[in-house]
Amino acid sequence: MSAGIAFGRAYLIGRDTLKAPRHHVEPDDVDTEVARLYKAIAASDKQLAKIKEKLASENESDYHIITAHQMMLHDEHLVGAAVGYIREQTINAEWALRRAVDDIAGVFDSIEDEYLRERRSDVEFVFERVLRNLLGRDTGPLAPPPDAIVVAYDLSPADTATLHKAAVAGLITDAGGKTSHTAIIARAHEIPAVVGLETITEVVETDDLVVIDGASGVVIVNPTPQTVADYREEQRRQVAAGAHLHTLRDLPARTRDDTAVQLFCNIDGPDELDDAIDYGAMGVGLFRTEYLFMGKGRLPDEERHYQVAVQVLEKLKGLPATIRTFDLGADKLAPFLEDAALEEANPALGLRSTRLCLAPLGRTLFHTQLRGLLRASAHGPIKIMFPMISGVGELRAVKAVVDEVKAELTAEGVPFDPDTKLGIMIEMPSAALTADLLAQECDFFSIGTNDLIQYTLAVDRVNEYVSYLYEPLHPSLLRLIGTVAAAAKAANIPVTICGEMAGEPMIAPVLVGLGIRELSMSAVSVPEVKSTIRSMTVTDAEALVGRIRGLATATEVRAIVSDFIFGLARPRTASGGIAAQSPADKGRA
Ligand code: PEP
Ligand code: MG
């Protein structure tokens, strides 16, 4: 989903069933057929490169998704299988390619992990383009009229990334889930979207009037005038709330009893910083550097780490930048890791993150990244943060590598700040429970609640079957956060929360009541969290924590916390309260 309300006329993109013809080729023509396939792959690569070129300066995540698609084009396994079919069965390239894609698609279907399963559609998109090139069909961009609601079976990330240029009002699709790249790109461009509606292309016709409420996933086709009026009103409320939040940009995030709460942003690349500053973030609390490792065969060198970090510092103009060393493995895969083909039954409990940095497979990369980051420390306030630290032993091991790198730089006469702050993410119960010991040996903590919830509740964070158990307000989590905050306070070191829960306005009073004074979140959440902070007092937040302390379940905690939120006398943003749809509306998904 991608939040926001949109109205528009439907522009239906029919499900173009691109059939692959099948015919035999003469044994003498097999080489020509293989060459046709490679030529179509090369043409597809060029088309994607062109799309990417247009997008490069706008949004780094689109860029990387399309780079990943280019990599898929050259997947030896898939292309090799297609070439094998051409040669062994003397059949044409289109048919051979279709079979090779179907073989792979079958494997994707049996994967339980939602995110990985959705990569099937990426493979389909990529090779559909190749098929189009083989058949000499149109591969140009979609061209809906401006302000249209695009209705499609599915949209490729390349199409979605170019659609915002066409100024479409919204997107709705039959296929896809919340981690499909279409949804991710729509969110990045703030295009309201609802995906995974299954049969919407059968319900809607071109030129039908459509209303989308991206936040609640509602689509109404040919609504009554009353429904339109209700949604227009809701849209106005949301815009006004947004404008109100924008006016908060330059106001401090201080509680009514005058305690400052620092609000930072989480970013994936320097290109996100202009917006983040616009939303009022006071620095970077988490820079996820994994994206630097995503290009095939182009592992980042020291210069790249250095340049990117300096770019972040320049954009921040003196505000602090917390840069996390790479956190690869499990749900964050990079080509070099895929090539290593680790056979792990439980990747989330396996060779990921800092463990990988300290293992032979990742050690040189880690060393290189640390050199780049320490060199950048000469240009501004960088803090280096290590993810997934399990305890003091691992902390000492990473610090030993930092010492090695510092010694090298000193010997080479390369400038760096010797007092660069070194901190750790608290993402495992083992770290939370030994926070007092860890606090003696590092400069700051940042609680990664996404993983801390996963590992405390034993709930895979990307597994839809157990997502109902993924509960930030579980009493166990509140206890762990309280323990970490107390340990940080006793040792006089700062502690941030940088998991998704830091960006939930409703949870902010609980975190402040537990002693947290720094929150790092996706930049769009900064204004709303700031609004909550400015409407409450620390005294009340501490009393709230006192009330929830003895509660046994997350449901009970949530009830008390929502009472607290309703009680805050603050200018409220619109939430819920959307008028129900009239029964006269033609369709609803
Ligand atoms: C976390 O685990 O809360 C976190 C911020 O790290 P990531 O989501 O990148 O694993
Ligand atoms: Mg994490």
The CATH code of the domain that includes 199 is 3.50.30.10
How many beta carbons lie within 10 A of that of residue 296, not counting itself?
17
Last residue of a domain, one of 244, 276, 294: 244
8 within a domain of the structure (yes/no): no
Please tell me the number of the ligand nearest to residue 449's CA.
Answer: 1
Pocket-forming residues, ligand 1, beta carbon under 6 Å: 286, 288, 327, 427, 448-451, 498-499
**Residue/partner pairs of 129-133 with CB below 8 Å, 24 or more apart:** 129/44, 129/47, 129/48, 129/156, 129/158, 130/37, 130/40, 130/41, 130/44, 130/73, 130/97, 131/18, 131/20, 131/40, 131/94, 131/97, 131/98, 132/18, 133/39, 133/40, 133/43, 133/44, 133/47
What pLDDT is recorded for position 588? Answer: 34
Residues 179 and 273 in one domain: no
The protein residue with its alpha carbon nearest to ligand 1, atom 4, reads 448
What pLDDT is recorded for position 136? Answer: 85
Among 286, 327, 331, 450, residue to substitute to test ligand 1 (most atoms within 8 Å of Cβ): 450
Host domain of residue 176: 149-244
Q: In degrees, to the nearest 5, what angle opens at C-alpha 177 toward C-alphas 171 and 180? A: 80
What pLDDT is recorded for position 17? Answer: 58
141 within a domain of the structure (yes/no): no
The protein residue with its alpha carbon nearest to ligand 1, atom 1, reads 448
Amino acid (one-letter) located at 257: D
Residues 171 and 262 in one domain: no
Token pair, residue 171, equals: 């997107």
Q: What are 265-307's pLDDT values in tens digits?
A: 999 889 889 889 988 999 999 999 988 987 767 899 999 999 9
The β-bridge partners of 421 are 383
Q: What are 533-588's pLDDT values in tens digits?
A: 998 999 999 999 999 999 999 999 988 988 888 777 433 333 332 222 323 333 33
Higher pLDDT, 469 or 573: 469
Residues 28 and 166 in one domain: no
Terminal-to-terminal C-alpha distance of the chain: 13
The residues assigned a catalytic role are: 181, 498
Distance 559 CA to ligand 1 centre (A): 26
How would residue 226 be classed by pLDDT, with cut points 50, 70 and 90? confident
Atom of ligand 1 nearest to the CA of 266: 5
Instruction: Look up the CATH number of the domain holding residue 457.
Output: 3.20.20.60
Last residue of a domain, one of 244, 268, 303: 244
pLDDT at 58 exceeding the cut of 80: no
Distance 453 CA to ligand 1 centre (A): 10
Token pair, residue 224, equals: 């009554």
Distance 516 CA to ligand 2 centre (A): 18
Residues 341 and 416 in one domain: yes
Coil, strand or helix at 575: coil
Distance 550 CA to ligand 1 centre (A): 28
pLDDT at 325 exceeding the cut of 90: yes
Among 265, 388, 426, 427, residue to substitute to test ligand 1 (most atoms within 8 Å of Cβ): 427
412 within a domain of the structure (yes/no): yes
The protein residue with its alpha carbon nearest to ligand 1, atom 6, reads 448
Distance 425 CA to ligand 2 centre (A): 8
- In 142-224, alpha helices (H): 157-163, 181-188, 200-203
Atom of ligand 1 nearest to the CA of 498: 5
Residues 438 and 496 in one domain: yes
Residues 173 and 296 in one domain: no
Coil, strand or helix at 3: coil
168 within a domain of the structure (yes/no): yes
Residues 51 and 166 in one domain: no
Residues 464 and 509 in one domain: yes
484 within a domain of the structure (yes/no): yes
460 within a domain of the structure (yes/no): yes
574 within a domain of the structure (yes/no): no
Report the domain count for the chain. 3
pLDDT at 240 exceeding the cut of 80: no
Last residue of a domain, one of 183, 217, 244: 244
Higher pLDDT, 578 or 108: 108
Distance 388 CA to ligand 2 centre (A): 7
Token pair, residue 424, equals: 């750790």
Atom of ligand 1 nearest to the CA of 331: 10
Residues 447 and 349 in one domain: yes
Strand-pair category, 421-426 with 382-386: parallel
The β-bridge partners of 262 are 518
Selection from 579, 584, 587, 585 nearest residue 235 by Cα: 579
Distance 451 CA to ligand 1 centre (A): 6
What pLDDT is recorded for position 289? Answer: 94
Coil, strand or helix at 92: coil
117 within a domain of the structure (yes/no): yes
Amino acid (one-letter) located at 189: H
Atom of ligand 1 nearest to the CA of 447: 3
CA atoms within 13 A on the CB side of 487: 25
pLDDT at 80 exceeding the cut of 80: yes
Contact 180, 117 (CB under 8 A): no
Atom of ligand 1 nearest to the CA of 288: 9
The region that residue 136 occupies, defined by phi over 0 for left and psi between -120 and 50 for alpha, beta otherwise, is left
Q: Which helix (H) or strand (E) holds 63?
A: helix 60-73
The protein residue with its alpha carbon nearest to ligand 1, atom 9, reads 288
Among 322, 451, 470, 511, residue to substitute to test ligand 1 (most atoms within 8 Å of Cβ): 451
Residues 337 and 397 in one domain: yes
The protein residue with its alpha carbon nearest to ligand 1, atom 8, reads 450
Residues 104 and 192 in one domain: no
Residues 30 and 77 in one domain: yes
Contact 92, 41 (CB under 8 A): no
What's the rounded mean pLDDT across residues 32-42?
A: 93
- Per-position b or e across 58-84, b if 16+ CB within 10 A of its CB: ebbbbbbbbbbbbbbbebeebbebbbe
Whether this prediction's pTM lies above 0.75 is answered by: no
Among 266, 327, 501, residue to substitute to test ligand 1 (most atoms within 8 Å of Cβ): 327
Atom of ligand 1 nearest to the CA of 500: 3
Give CA–CA dist 186/35, Å, rounded: 37
Query: 197-201, 291-295, 355-359, 409-413 — which is least confidently predicted?
Result: 291-295
The conformation of residue 520, written as its DSSP 8-state character, comes to E
pLDDT at 405 exceeding the cut of 90: yes
Distance 387 CA to ligand 2 centre (A): 7
Q: What are 115-142's pLDDT values in tens digits?
A: 666 677 778 888 888 998 998 887 777 7
Please tell me the number of the ligand nearest to residue 290's CA.
Answer: 1
